[in-house]
Amino acid sequence: MPRLPRLCPPGYPVHVIQRGNNRQVVFTSERDIVAYAHWLDESAANCEVSVHGWVFMTNHVHLLLTPRREDGISKLLQFLGRRYVRYFNFAYARSGTLFDGRFKSSLVQDDQYFLSCLRYIELNPVRAGMVTDPEDYRWSSYGVHAHGRKASMWTAHPTYLGLGKTDASRQYCYRELVSDALDQEVISKIRHCANSGLVLGTEQFRKQFVGMPE
């Protein structure tokens, strides 16, 4: 069965999932996460990709990215993967692959779809039972959006900026959004789109990309 085309056109946000090979652990310490985040920041700059959201879990990563060139996201993950896997294999005296060979991705429409996907990403630690409040999980972009925490790799998406006229008002509005739990139907749709390579958005939005080459 042929694989579905991967849609990562310039100027549109994309939800990316990078998993450990056979779901193996990819972060065993905070040092590992710091190293991965450093190379993500560097890769994003080199490959012309804006990073809007993230969560680093034990055996996988969720990212919300907007490429500024056609091959931006693929190049970012190649660049990042080479550096992080080399570090990880050396640090833990191992060899071989670490991540699945093909990352999962879903093109995301702006506005409510973008915000739902962002909330889905940042609430992963809550759904996993690791914390009860996303604020208590350091390794996501929630602190940036909800409390103004600084992160050099972060680029505010226009949809987030539209939540308020000031930093404080946007952060308050975002905290209120996150406190309103996502419907299970929305969660299932985001998962299905990401795992199947489908577009997350309205039918009209999806039709713009029918037949678009990989």
pLDDT at 31: 97
- Rounded (10°) angle between helices 184-196 and 112-122: 90
Burial of 152 (0-12, 13-18, 19+ CB in 10 A): exposed
Q: What values do phi and psi take at 108, rounded to 5?
A: -125, 130
pLDDT at 214: 43
Return mean pLDDT, the chain: 93
For 130-164, what is each residue's pLDDT tens digit?
A: 999 999 999 999 999 999 999 999 999 999 999 99
Q: Which two tokens stand for residue 59?
A: 């055996």
Residue scoring higher pLDDT (39 or 209)? 39
pLDDT at 4: 52
Residue 5 has pLDDT above 80, yes or no: no
Burial of 142 (0-12, 13-18, 19+ CB in 10 A): buried
pTM as predicted: 0.94
pLDDT at 6: 73
For 15-56, what is each residue's pLDDT tens digit?
A: 999 999 988 999 999 999 999 999 999 999 999 999 999 999
Amino acid at position 192, single letter: H
Q: Domain 14-196, what fold?
A: Alpha-Beta Plaits (3.30.70)
Q: Report CA-CA distances (Å) from 131 to 46, 85, 124, 134.
A: 34, 28, 9, 7
Over residues 173-195, mean pLDDT: 95
pLDDT at 2: 46
Residue 1 has pLDDT above 70, yes or no: no
Which residues share a beta bridge with 17? 62, 104
Domains of the chain: which residue ranges? Answer: 14-196
Buried b (16+ CB within 10 A) or exposed e, 27-60: beeeebbebbbbbbbbbbeebebbbbbbbbbeeb
